[in-house]
A and B are shown apart, each in its own frame.
Chain A
């Protein structure tokens, strides 16, 4: 049981480049989330997917898009990266539709120069 996996672990982008962060969970969870974590600011929700086939904006969705590919996979896309998107990105999942008992992946460290 791998839990929540994320790829890549590290990435450096130039301003304006695009990339997709991948996330997969093997716990048969219904809900999945993307967060970013910045120093002194805590985790902030970018997008979430309550169940397969649905996605909704979180607190900081600007500059990002998501795809819930199937029940297991939830990807985050940066169409035109900006230095303000330099952060650590975490994917999480939960069994129930709600945000308690979330299970987090190991994170992707993204630097935009």
Chain B
């Protein structure tokens, strides 16, 4: 079993839709939960990170962590074509152990 599981997609939605991206993980030691966005043929860039359980909002993006069920979500409101990318969840211990999911490819159609 992989430590972090992500549906690879692709997920295709119309512009303006609400997008839900999800991850599950198995290691209960993870305390930090990151989401990275990766455009085609580019390096990943940090989108959001949260510590422990709860929600964090940043503009159109909301990250949600449920440690009891080991479930991580990223919601994108009013999705735009510029949101088309691969989204990587990356839980970590805060030390040097961060495990990256394989990513979910998102396409937002204009």
* Cβ 8 A contact of A98, one of B43, B46, B88, B96: B96
* Contact between chains at A50 and B102 (CB < 8 Å): no
Q: Mark A54-79, 1 if CB is under 8 A from B, else 0.
A: 00101000000000000000000000
Of all chain B residues, the one with the shortest Cβ separation from A43 is: B100
Chain A residues within an 8 Å CB radius of B94: 98-100
* Contact between chains at A42 and B49 (CB < 8 Å): no
* Contact between chains at A4 and B92 (CB < 8 Å): no
Q: Mark A77-113, 1 if CB is under 8 A from B, else 0.
A: 0000000000000101000011111111111000000
Shortest beta-carbon distance from B35 to chain A in Å: 11
Shortest beta-carbon distance from B61 to chain A in Å: 16
Chain A residues within an 8 Å CB radius of B32: 98-100
Chain B residues within an 8 Å CB radius of A90: 43-44
* Contact between chains at B43 and A104 (CB < 8 Å): yes
Of all chain A residues, the one with the shortest Cβ separation from B92 is: A99
* Cβ 8 A contact of B42, one of A48, A98, A106: A106
The CA-CA distance from A102 to B97 in the complex, in Å, is: 12
Chain B residues within an 8 Å CB radius of A92: 43
Chain B residues within an 8 Å CB radius of A43: 44, 88, 90, 100
* Contact between chains at A56 and B88 (CB < 8 Å): no
Chain A residues within an 8 Å CB radius of B99: 42
| A40 contacts chain B at the CB level, 8 A cutoff | yes
* Contact between chains at B43 and A107 (CB < 8 Å): yes
The CA-CA distance from A106 to B94 in the complex, in Å, is: 24
Residues of A within 8 A of B (CB): 4, 35, 40-45, 48, 50, 56, 58, 90, 92, 97-107
